[in-house]
Amino acid sequence: MNIIAIFKGLATTFGYMFRRKATIDYPFVKRAHAPRFHGLHELRRYDDGMERCIGCELCQIACPANAITVVGGENTPEDRHSPGERYAFRYEIDELRCIFCGMCEEACPTDAITLTPRFEMSNYTRSSLIYDKSKLLVPAEYGVGEAPHERPGGIPADLGEVARTKSTMNPERGYLATWRGIDILTSKGKTYMPTPAGGELVREPERLKGGE
């Protein structure tokens, strides 16, 4: 038994008590991430508010985890969603299957599906983690045009204070975030409940029947 080694060890642990702690006080303080961190999906719009998605199902084919289900529909003059002929009638992503690889992003011909840096989507039921268009499509009043990370206010990733200096959050502008499957608007440190975009309230999506 080496007594000197024991005292060295004691000195080490004593010294460590006064070092800076590695812990980030997580739900209240969040670690800064890369601006284009791969997190929760978003379906983007054009500048005029039209949906970018044309329902081509390429993302569904590219998805290595079979997480995406797209059912295309025809645009009509009375019910126009996207500039072209077709739009996504149904667009669902099972976030529990998703591996956040971003291949849907790469496959998309119109840059409609995009990964945002939001990463907090824990929930109590599996069905609530199947995100449909009501949760994926960015409301026209927030993010029209630019990709999430290129928006003037940046894409907020979370609802708390962001640790370290570099942050992608702009609390002045207010943003949509997802908390327990509910979209909520947060601004200047305050949290507001959903402002229904397009008149549609956030709802539980129906459970997908056997995949195609």
Chain residues binding another protein by CB under 8 A are: 1, 6, 9-10, 12-14, 16-17, 19-23, 25
CB of 11: closest distance to another protein in angstroms?
Answer: 9
Nearer to another protein, 13 or 165 (CB): 13
Nearer to another protein, 3 or 201 (CB): 3
CB of 31: closest distance to another protein in angstroms?
Answer: 15
Compute CA distances 148 → 35, 118, 126, 130, whole Å: 9, 10, 26, 21
Beta strands (DSSP E) in 51-206 are 68-74, 86-94, 113-115, 130-131, 161-162, 175-179, 182-187, 190-192
Alpha-carbon gap, residue 21 to 42, rounded angstroms: 35
Nearer to another protein, 20 or 188 (CB): 20
Alpha-carbon gap, residue 110 to 131, rounded angstroms: 20
Alpha-carbon gap, residue 60 to 98, rounded angstroms: 11
CB of 18: closest distance to another protein in angstroms?
Answer: 8
Nearer to another protein, 20 or 190 (CB): 20
CB of 34: closest distance to another protein in angstroms?
Answer: 24
Alpha-carbon gap, residue 99 to 55, rounded angstroms: 22
